[in-house]
Amino acid sequence: MPNTKLLFHYLSYLQYPIMLIAVLFALQPYFNEFENFLSSINNMLIFMGLGISFSTLQDTQKTQNEMSLKIWSNPKKGRRFLIFMGILTLAFLVTGVVSIFLAEDSKIAEVGFGILVVGIGLLGMLKSGSEMFEHHRIDKTSE
């Protein structure tokens, strides 16, 4: 059996074409005179959430760039960023659920579903962020 961690790392590269599809859905209303605007936004949100989910499959023991390393290695910055990500995730999840159940228009409820999918993707990103913070923080005691 191949190295599972490496397999998931390669699968994480699917985030780029998926995010490109999300961008295309975001641009679609501009070319269709804003016909089916909410449907396009919903599709964009769904693909954005899916892309975020795929991005969390990468190896959390490595950082993507120097800026990311600066955030995750600093205990104060890392903690602040995790709090920010947690608040953002909670906001998307609550907004999505509220939109689904309280919207009187079915199109708004569909957009709520897209918002919920982004929230689920951000939940995975929050988990990955906490793992990266664990692996890279400079005040971590060696075991």
pLDDT digits (tens, 9 = 90+) for 84-98: 999 999 999 999 999
Instruction: Evaluate whether 48 touches 19 at the Cβ level (below 8 Å).
Output: yes
Token pair of 84 as six digits = 């920010």
Q: For the chain, list residues with pLDDT below 70.
A: 1-2, 63, 140-143
Number of domains within the chain: 1
Cβ-contact 43, 25 below 8 angstroms: yes
Question: In this structure, is residue 92 part of a structural domain?
Answer: yes
Task: Kindly state whether residue 141 falls inside one of the protein's structural domains.
Answer: no
Q: Is residue 59 part of a domain?
A: yes
Q: What is the pLDDT of residues 44-65, one digit of tens each?
A: 999 999 999 999 988 777 767 7
- Residue 67 inside a domain? The answer is yes
Q: Which domain holds residue 123?
A: 4-136
- For residue 142, is it within any domain? no
12 occurs within a structural domain:
yes
pLDDT reported for residue 2:
63
C-alpha to C-alpha distances, 119 to 3, 6, 93, 123, 141, nearest whole angstrom: 29, 26, 5, 6, 32
139: three-class secondary structure by DSSP: coil
Assigned token pair, 61 = 């023991």
- Give residue 141's pLDDT: 46
| pLDDT of amino acid 143 | 47
